[in-house]
Chain A
Amino acid sequence: MTLLVLGAIAAGALAGYWLLPREALGYLDTVTTAALCLMLAGIGVDLGGRRETWTRLRALGWRVLLIPLLIAVGSLVGAVAGGFALGLPVNESSAIGAGFGWYSLSGVLLAKIYNVETGALAFMTNVSREVIAFLLIPLIAARLGYLTAISPGGATTMDTTLPLIAKTTDADTTIIAMVSGTALSAMVPLLVPLLIRM
């Protein structure tokens, strides 16, 4: 999947560099808007259909929602602090941080509704976050506790980093990670457009 994602961007980049005249890019707008709506509806169907996750959330009690909430706050504050050091405006750094590791969605969203440079930065930032998460999860699970090991993954603890969490923590933590990742994933398509318009 990662290779396919990179391949699609590379194919588009080659087409944009050599084939497409600049004026043709404007016509792409209708196509990409339709693609965006379809993709978001598909993501919605997936999130809405995760009934067992939402049922587990109720069984665990609402305090468990503090986990994705605090991860979200930590990500946003961290990204804004990092952005401040880099001289980025707050709307850009916070929207990039609100990708929570979901690089494909945050990247294409920002490229579509804001500008391609910020989209590319969101893509690379959230790819980096996933890589950092893969490296840190085993270390954090061993040193700072199982619950803390959920935090670096952000939205990815719903799918890509879940197997690693399952391997390095226990069953309870794995279920909490899935709930947290699902809640954070649901926040990405809402927070990214909201924050970039601040």
Chain B
Amino acid sequence: MYLIILSLGIGIVIGYLRPLSPEKARLANAVTTVGLFILLMSMGAQLGSNEDVLSGLGRLGLQAVVLAAFSVLGSVLMICLAKDYIYKGLDEKLGRRQGGASQ
């Protein structure tokens, strides 16, 4: 847990203080991708060696669709309910109704 926050925090500080040159950005991207693929293969290996999970993949797939649909529904509802309030603030910033008077 601490390791996760620490790694992320160090990365954010480095990225914010010293925006990377295109070559270094490519290098950072490559590091992220290599890390991701090691973890993906490890997740795959754990899956492949766990017959309980393997045999339950169909059930997991169904659960996944339900969880995703409910998450999307919740997000859409929240923004739908709040969009007028949010737009009221944004219109001032974007200068739509006030014709840029707020700037």
* Chain A residues proximal to chain B, CB less than 8 Å: 4-5, 8-18, 20, 22, 25, 28, 31-33, 35-51, 59-61, 63-64, 66-67, 70-71, 73-79, 81-83, 85-86, 88, 93, 96-97, 100, 104-105, 107-109, 111-113, 116-117, 119-121, 123-129, 132-133, 136, 140, 144-145, 147-148, 150-152, 154, 172, 176, 186, 189-190, 193-194, 197
Contacts and interface: CB of A to CB of B under 8 A. Distances in A.
Report whether over half of chain B's contact residues are helix, strand or loop; otherwise say mixed. Answer: helix
Interface residues of B, number: 74
B101 interface: no
Contact of B70 (A20, A79, A144): A79
Contacts of A194: 1
Given A64-B90, A79-B67, A83-B67, A144 B76 contact: yes
B76 A140 contact: yes
B49 A45 contact: no
A15 B44 CA distance: 8
Report whether over half of chain A's contact residues are helix, strand or loop; otherwise say mixed. Answer: helix
Contact of B41 (A11, A47, A93): A11
Interface in B39-82: 39-50, 52-54, 56-57, 60-61, 63-80, 82
Given A44-B11, A151-B76, A120 B60 contact: yes
Contacts of B86: 63-64, 66-67, 147
B44 A38 contact: no
A190 B34 CA distance: 21
Contacts of A4: 37
B67 A96 contact: yes
Given A42-B31, A74-B75, A47 B15 contact: yes
B15 A44 contact: yes
A126 B75 CA distance: 14
Given A108-B36, A120-B53, A47 B45 contact: no
A5 B40 CA distance: 7
Nearest to B73: A78
A14 B48 CA distance: 6
Contacts of A126: 68
B40 A104 contact: yes
Given A36-B35, A37-B3, A128 B65 contact: yes
A75 B74 contact: yes
24 contacts: A12-B44, A15-B45, A16-B50, A17-B54, A38-B34, A44-B8, A44-B10, A44-B11, A44-B15, A46-B32, A49-B15, A59-B93, A60-B90, A60-B94, A61-B89, A74-B71, A97-B67, A104-B36, A107-B43, A108-B43, A112-B43, A132-B68, A140-B76, A151-B76
